[in-house]
């Protein structure tokens, strides 16, 4: 089947493109390369362009007979979304509407959407299942929840079927070592911890150690990037088989504190990782842990890499190979 992957040059999208190609699909990636990397698209066709370009979208859908669309192209920084909400609503909401419009006009009715745990806001119960109230507390989370609501209306009006996948903390790297996380600037805990282990940064700053958790640091649910992509593949198969619109929370169901992540990284890398204790980061709930029972039951999803040590090991291999090569090139 031919699949359009929007944002296929980014962290999650690039792993998805690789997995789709491995599963025998034909892939067209659309990415504006604002945060993605051309060399992260390991196969298929790459079209460099932006979702705001409706002419380009029309042309793309006329040219290709897509069976489905996966959409990863959004901004993801909570703090930035508070400072620049319109940037988030323009890209994450309005540009997604452009994409949906093109799909409806060209009779493409299967859509996989990257949603987020941020749509739930401050958790009222842990673990968080799909029935948890949606109460996002920042423009990033609101932009994603708005798209979920748009999707319900578009299904109702046009029969466009979608699966919304609410990610908890995507982490790790391609087990074969070809791909990994390359955000610039990097804001995520695990790559930052590994940068400290590699000596690329002096220390890891721990944002808050006075939370109501056993060791005082925040607890998150880290899910391996390949397990995350596997869920997308199953969701796509569900829609291509004529399945109905659904939403799933995707995590390991197991929470780890910031301190546990640092300790596990010390064990995996056998390096010293200096820590700086700092203030809380605004907007961080103490605990976010997913209940992914629905995805397991309905999609038959079975995460393969649920150990935190494995997730960190794969991310460490990427840090050493990719950034190690970059360092060598810079000193050559
Ligand atoms: N965190 C931290 N230091 C950092 C980056 C993150 O202590 O340099 C904490 C952050 O406060 C949160 C957890 O690590 O509790 C995971 O943060 P991340 O930004 O990776 O993902 P988020 O949970 O915000 O999606």
Domain boundaries, given as residue ranges, for the chain: 2-171+223-250, 189-220+253-289+305-331
What is the per-residue pLDDT for 228? 98
Smallest CA separation from ligand 1 atom 22, residue: 169
Mean pLDDT, range 2-9, rounded to an integer? 98
Average pLDDT, the chain: 96
Res 325 pLDDT > 80: no
Confidence of residue 46 (pLDDT cuts 50, 70, 90): very high
Distance (angstroms) between ligand 1 centre and the Cα of 68 equals: 33
Distance (angstroms) between ligand 1 centre and the Cα of 151 equals: 29
Closest CA to 103 of 18, 144, 162: 162
Query: Would you call 11 a catalytic residue per the annotation?
Result: no
What share of the chain in percent tops pLDDT 70?
A: 100
The residue ranking higher by pLDDT, 148 or 325, is: 148
Res 138 pLDDT > 80: yes
Confidence of residue 219 (pLDDT cuts 50, 70, 90): very high
Note the pTM of the prediction, 2 decimals. 0.97
Confidence of residue 331 (pLDDT cuts 50, 70, 90): confident
What number does CATH give the domain 2-171+223-250?
A: 3.40.50.720
What is the per-residue pLDDT for 153? 98
pLDDT digits (tens, 9 = 90+) for 57-109: 999 999 999 999 999 999 999 989 999 999 999 999 999 999 999 999 999 99
List the catalytic residue out of 11, 140, 167, 211. 140
Mean pLDDT, range 166-188, rounded to an integer? 95
Confidence of residue 117 (pLDDT cuts 50, 70, 90): very high
Do 80 and 283 form a contact (C-beta atoms < 8 A)?
no
Mean pLDDT, range 119-142, rounded to an integer? 97
Res 167 pLDDT > 90: yes
DSSP code of 89? I
What is the per-residue pLDDT for 282? 86
Superfamily covering domain 189-220+253-289+305-331: UDP-galactose 4-epimerase, domain 1 (3.90.25.10)
Ligand 1 site, residue 189, Cβ cutoff 6 A: yes
Confidence of residue 53 (pLDDT cuts 50, 70, 90): very high
Do 163 and 113 form a contact (C-beta atoms < 8 A)?
yes
Sheet holding 246-250, edge to edge: 45-48, 26-31, 2-6, 68-71, 110-116, 161-167, 246-250
What is the per-residue pLDDT for 322? 86
- Index of the ligand 1 atom closest to the CA of residue 118: 25
Res 327 pLDDT > 80: no
What share of the chain in percent tops pLDDT 90?
A: 94
pLDDT digits (tens, 9 = 90+) for 257-307: 999 999 999 999 999 999 999 999 988 899 999 999 999 999 999 999 999
Res 125 pLDDT > 80: yes
Q: Which residue's entry shows tokens 């990284």? A: 265
229 contacts: CB under 8 Å, gap ≥ 6:
12, 15, 16, 19
What is the per-residue pLDDT for 324? 79
Ligand 1 site, residue 260, Cβ cutoff 6 A: no
Res 195 pLDDT > 80: yes
The residue ranking higher by pLDDT, 328 or 202, is: 202
Do 191 and 315 form a contact (C-beta atoms < 8 A)?
yes
Radius of gyration in angstroms for the set of CA atoms belonging to the chain, rounded to a whole number:
19
Our mutation pick for probing the ligand 1 site, out of 258, 277, 279, counting the most ligand atoms within 8 A of Cβ, is: 258
Res 49 pLDDT > 80: yes
What is the per-residue pLDDT for 330? 79
């Amino acid at each position: 089947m031919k699949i359009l992957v929007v944002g296929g040059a980014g962290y999650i999208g690039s792993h998805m493109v690789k997995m789709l190609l491995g599963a025998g699909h034909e892939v067209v990636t659309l990415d504006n390369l604002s945060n993605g990397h051309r060399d992260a698209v390991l196969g298929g066709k790459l079209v460099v362009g932006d979702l705001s370009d409706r002419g380009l979208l029309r042309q793309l859908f006329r040219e290709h007979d897509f069976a489905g669309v996966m959409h990863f192209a959004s901004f993801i920084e909570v703090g930035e979304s508070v400072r620049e909400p319109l940037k988030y609503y323009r890209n994450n909401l309005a540009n997604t509407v452009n994409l949906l419009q093109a799909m409806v006009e060209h009779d493409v009715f299967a859509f996989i959407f990257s949603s987020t745990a941020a749509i739930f806001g401050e958790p009222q119960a842990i673990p968080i299942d799909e029935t948890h109230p949606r109460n996002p507390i920042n423009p990033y989370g609101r932009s994603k929840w708005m798209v979920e609501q748009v999707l319900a209306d578009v299904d109702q009006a046009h029969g466009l079927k979608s699966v919304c996948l609410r990610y908890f903390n995507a982490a790790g790297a391609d087990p074969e070592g070809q791909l990994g996380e390359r955000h610039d600037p990097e804001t995520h805990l695990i790559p930052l911890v590994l940068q400290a282990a590699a000596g690329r940064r002096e220390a890891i700053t721990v944002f808050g150690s006075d939370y109501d958790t056993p060791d005082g640091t925040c607890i998150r649910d880290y899910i391996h990037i390949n397990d995350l992509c596997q869920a997308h593949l199953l969701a796509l198969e569900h829609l291509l088989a004529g399945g109905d619109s659904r939403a799933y929370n995707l995590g390991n169901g197991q929470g780890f504190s910031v301190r546990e992540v640092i300790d596990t990284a010390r064990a995996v890398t056998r390096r010293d990782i200096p820590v700086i204790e700092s203030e809380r980061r605004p907007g961080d709930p103490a605990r976010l842990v997913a209940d992914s029972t629905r995805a397991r039951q309905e999609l038959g999803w079975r995460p393969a890499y649920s150990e935190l040590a494995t997730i960190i090991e794969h991310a460490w291999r990427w840090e050493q190979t990719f950034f190690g090569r970059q360092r060598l090139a810079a000193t050559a």
